[in-house]
Structure 1
Amino acid sequence: MEFLNNLLFGIYPYIAIAVFLLGSLIRYDRDQYSWKTGSSQMLESKMLRKGSMPFHIGIIAVLAGHFVGLLTPHQVWDFLHITAPMKQVFAMAMGGFFGLICFYGLTILIIRRFTNERVKASSSSMDNLILILLYIQLILGLISIFVSTGHMDGAEMLKLMSWAQNLVTFQGSHAAAAIADVHIIFKLHVFLGMSLFLVFPFSRLVHVWSVPVKYFRRNYQIVRAKTGW
């Protein structure tokens, strides 16, 4: 069991992140034509509008929360006089709120993907797989909130923080040890999260890299009406 734990939570994350970064770079270099969202808005727009916004708002907030919550050293929270139980309650509240928003939007998008014949026909196997993986991951995250109510001391949260922070400092064995005895729901959530990084470069998720930041600083375009000669 110790070997499996080290493999899944001390080695596998590095494999997933390496594929995530190198795969994205290679795909951008070799196959830029496929670097797109693959929008199906022209095929069906009503359900897309209804589900896309809450999904994106929810998932961006959830990812930001995970990033800050897991990678901020506990000394920072101590300096701010935020105890582990306080942080856990806040994480559960905000994670639950934005997780449900994301769940609402993603549910609509999945129903649309698998029930609208035109959208379904234009979907690839990877499109369907990504939606299902995201849905399972989101459900696991929401279930983990209920699991967390059984231990409000923040102990398991600190172990997950230790896992993430040891990973980014390239101490894989310490990371695996930190997460060894956490609840199975958290382990499944972590493993599936790493697996999403693994399949990222082979899916339409690569469009995340192409956030249109330049639009905020570009000059306005002046459009003049065509006049007669």
Structure 2
Amino acid sequence: MNTLHTIAFTVYPYVCLAFFLMGSLARFDRDQYTWKSDSSQLLRAGQLRWGSNLFHGGILFLFFGHLFGQLTPHAVYGLVMTSSQKQLLAVIAGGVAGGLCFIGLTMLLHRRLFDPRIRLTSHRTDIAILVILWVQLAIGLSTLPSSLRHVGEPTTMLRLAEYLQGIVLLQPNAALVAGIEWHFQLHILLGMTIFLLFPFSRLVHVWSGFGTVAYLFRPYQMVRSRRLNVPARQNLPRRAS
């Protein structure tokens, strides 16, 4: 079990990141026409609009919240808040965003599974990735009661943050996640698995979403008007009436 734990939390993260980066590049190079999210907006448009807005708004908040919340060193955020305050903020903000995201994703999943026309045009990978994301959100929400109980002594949060920072710095330490509650460990492993599956699913369109930010920094396009040489109107003789 110790060996399996070490492989899962030391080797597996880098396998997932390698597939995430190299797989995305390979798909963009070889299958650019699949680099999109298939649209079914003409069917159940109302449910799609509500579900999509709730899901995308919530998932973006959760992504950047995890990114900056877990990877920001304690010495940096310690200038403005304590560890307990940070954990309480994460529980409240993450709980609200996670709940909205969960509702939106449930609406999208229900729409794709129970509408025969949408189900017929859906790829198996579309349904599979939605189910995986739904389970991941459910596990994440299940960690909130434990996180709330540990606000006074946020040892688990600090250990998880140190572990993830070690992954980024190429200094993984699987011992940091040993002994913590099982749903935290499962949440980490399933999150890594999503990175592994990313290039093989419709999630690759996320790259295009982030890529649109580059348009904010593009120089203006110069458009010059071209004057057409229109011949002067000739005075033709009129026929006598």
TM-score by length of 2: 0.87
Which of structures 1 and 2 has the larger relative contact order (alpha carbons within 8 angstroms, sep 6+)? 1
- How far residue 78 of structure 1 moved from its aligned partner, in angstroms, is 2.0
Contact kept, 8 Å, 1:159 with 1:182, in 2: the verdict is no
Contact kept, 8 Å, 1:50 with 1:105, in 2: the verdict is yes
Which protein shows a greater Rg?
Answer: 2
SS at match of 2:149: coil
Query: Quick one: distance in 2 between partners of 1:214 and 1:79?
Result: 32
Aligned equivalent of 2:129: 130
Unaligned runs of 5+ in 2: 224-241
Aligned equivalent of 2:227: none
Aligned equivalent of 1:195: 193
- How far residue 85 of structure 1 moved from its aligned partner, in angstroms, is 1.1
Query: Quick one: distance in 1 between partners of 2:75 and 2:178?
Result: 23
Within 5 Å, give how 1:112-127 maps onto structure 2: 112-127=111-126
In 2 relative to 1, CA 136–220 (structure 1 residues): closer, same or farther, beyond 3 Å?
farther
In 2 relative to 1, CA 79–49 (structure 1 residues): closer, same or farther, beyond 3 Å?
same
Contact kept, 8 Å, 1:48 with 1:109, in 2: the verdict is yes
Percent sequence identity over aligned pairs: 45
Letter in 2 for 1:206: V
In 2 relative to 1, CA 77–119 (structure 1 residues): closer, same or farther, beyond 3 Å?
same
Query: Quick one: distance in 2 between partners of 1:124 and 1:113?
Result: 10
Aligned equivalent of 1:57: 57
Aligned equivalent of 1:45: 45
Letter in 1 for 2:154: G
- How far residue 104 of structure 1 moved from its aligned partner, in angstroms, is 1.2
- How far residue 149 of structure 1 moved from its aligned partner, in angstroms, is 2.6
Superposed CA deviations along residues 194-223 of structure 1, whole A, max 9, x for unmatched, are 0000000000100000022355456699xx
How many residues align structurally? 218
The reply to whether residue 31 of structure 1 matches residue 31 of structure 2 is yes
Unaligned runs of 5+ in 1: 222-229
Contact kept, 8 Å, 1:16 with 1:198, in 2: the verdict is yes
In 2 relative to 1, CA 220–68 (structure 1 residues): closer, same or farther, beyond 3 Å?
farther
- How far residue 182 of structure 1 moved from its aligned partner, in angstroms, is 1.2
Query: Quick one: distance in 1 between partners of 2:159 and 2:84?
Result: 13
Correspondence for 1:206 among 191, 204, 207: 204
- How far residue 79 of structure 1 moved from its aligned partner, in angstroms, is 2.4
